Structures are given as C-alpha cells and as structure tokens.
Chains A and B, each alone.
Chain A
Amino acid sequence: DARVTQTPRHKVTEMGQEVTMRCQPILGHNTVFWYRQTMMQGLELLAYFRNRAPLDDSGMPKDRFSAEMPDATLATLKIQPSEPRDSAVYFCASGQDSYGYTFGSGTRLTVV
C-alpha cells in the first residue's frame, strides 16, 4: 500500500530550539496538507499545497511557523523558535483532487 511517510516519529526539544518535520507524500498526489492535533482543539489545518504551490497557510502562527515544499517528494514544516504550547501531534496528509486524503503516522512533538 502507498503510504505518506513522516519523520521524525517523536521529537522532544527545549523551548527556543528549531524543529523541522518532514513529509514524503504519496507519489502522484498533487495536494499536501499539514494538520496539528491536540486534545483541546482536535485536528486543525495549518497549511496546504497544491502542485507544490502554497494555497493557504492562514492556520499557522506566521511569526514562528513556516511550511515549504521544495520538491514533489518532500514537504517540510518548521517551527523556530519552538514553545511549549506547540506540543502536539503534527500530521501530514496527501491526496489527489476530490477524494479523501491519506495521513502519515504523525510527528509527536514535545517542547519542554
């Protein structure tokens, strides 16, 4: 089965440090999403790309978060500087046009 691959699976870092999360979407999928999941807020959309072009990043705190897609096989989400309130599970998902999307296993981030 085709999979969305995310790395790292777990990350513990100190407040103020830079965190980079990576995602390899399913080959051929033209849309890539970054979601964040917390107990309080559930799944929140942070940003998404279609054909590598950023379409919406209004869900991200712009001062510290950035999302890029340097090529069709790699999407990145960066937090600099990280804060304890960023602790969450970050999911990448990819899809093709109008059907449901496939999620990666997530990066569980803890900022202490």
Chain B
Amino acid sequence: RKEVEQDPGPFNVPEGATVAFNCTYSNSASQSFFWYRQDCRKEPKLLMSVYSSGNEDGRFTAQLNRASQYISLLIRDSKLSDSATYLCVVRENTPLVFGKGTRLSVIA
C-alpha cells in the first residue's frame, strides 16, 4: 500500500469554481503535513502547512483529520494560474513522503 495516496485527476474546472483535493496517509505516527504545488517541468514548492485546527491562506484552506488519516485542500474562486499538480506531503521523522499528486487544470 502506498504511504500517501491521492486521486491523480485531472480535475478540469472553470475559472471561479471551488475544487477540493483529498489525500490519505498510512502511517499514524506521521508528524507534519503539507501541500506542495508543482508546475510543469518545475520543482515542487511549498504551498502551505496543514494543522489539526485547519488553516487558511487566502483562497486556500487545508484540513487535517488525524483520526481518519486524511488531509484535504480546498481552493475557492479558482484562477487560471492555479493550474498545476498538487502534492500531498507527510513527514515521518525527517524525510518528506510525497503523494504522486493531483493535476488541476483551470479553464477559461
């Protein structure tokens, strides 16, 4: 079983739409959680950390459910520039463990 699982997509949504990505992780001892964004042929970049209390950064909201080992990312009012692959990331001790990513295309 893959340690971090995500729906690969693609999610094709119109501008202005709200889209949600989900992720599950297998190691209950995981310590920290993140969402990274990766543009085509670029490196992954940290989008936001994910906290148990939930956190928001502008149009982006991340949630963590430790009991269900489930992480989510909600993007409101999608922009064309949000088109990218979103990677769910879990820290087990030091190394980051990456999901394979969910591809989002925002269409005009």
Q: How many A-B residue pairs have CB under 8 A?
A: 43
Q: Is the CB of B101 within 8 A of A42?
A: yes
B96's contact among A41, A55, A101, by CB below 8 Å, is which?
A: A101
Point out the residues of chain B lying under 8 angstroms from A43, CB to CB: 44, 87, 98
8 additional A-B residue pairs with CB within 8 Å, beyond A41-B100, A101-B46, A101-B96 = A42-B98, A43-B44, A45-B95, A45-B96, A91-B44, A99-B49, A100-B34, A103-B45
Majority secondary structure of chain B interface residues (helix, strand, loop or mixed): strand
Point out the residues of chain A lying under 8 angstroms from B45, CB to CB: 103
Point out the residues of chain A lying under 8 angstroms from B101, CB to CB: 42
Is A25 among interface residues, defined by CB-CB distance under 8 A? no
Tell me the smallest distance from the CB of B88 to a CB of chain A, in Å.
Answer: 11
Q: Which 7 A-B pairs have the closest CB atoms?
A: A42-B100, A103-B43, A43-B98, A100-B46, A45-B95, A100-B34, A103-B44
Beta-carbon contacts under 8 Å, B77-108 to A: 87, 89, 91, 94-101
Is A50 among interface residues, defined by CB-CB distance under 8 A? yes
Tell me the smallest distance from the CB of B57 to a CB of chain A, in Å.
Answer: 13
| Residue total for B at the interface (Cβ-Cβ under 8 A) | 21
Tell me the smallest distance from the CB of A87 to a CB of chain B, in Å.
Answer: 15
Size category, A interface:
20 to 34
Tell me the smallest distance from the CB of B62 to a CB of chain A, in Å.
Answer: 13
Q: Is the CB of A50 within 8 A of B100?
A: no
Beta-carbon contacts under 8 Å, A55-82 to B: 55-56
Is B72 among interface residues, defined by CB-CB distance under 8 A? no
Q: Is the CB of A48 within 8 A of B100?
A: no
Point out the residues of chain A lying under 8 angstroms from B49, CB to CB: 99-100
Point out the residues of chain A lying under 8 angstroms from B1, CB to CB: none
Given A103-B45, A105-B42, answer yes or no on A48-B95 (Cβ-Cβ < 8 Å): yes
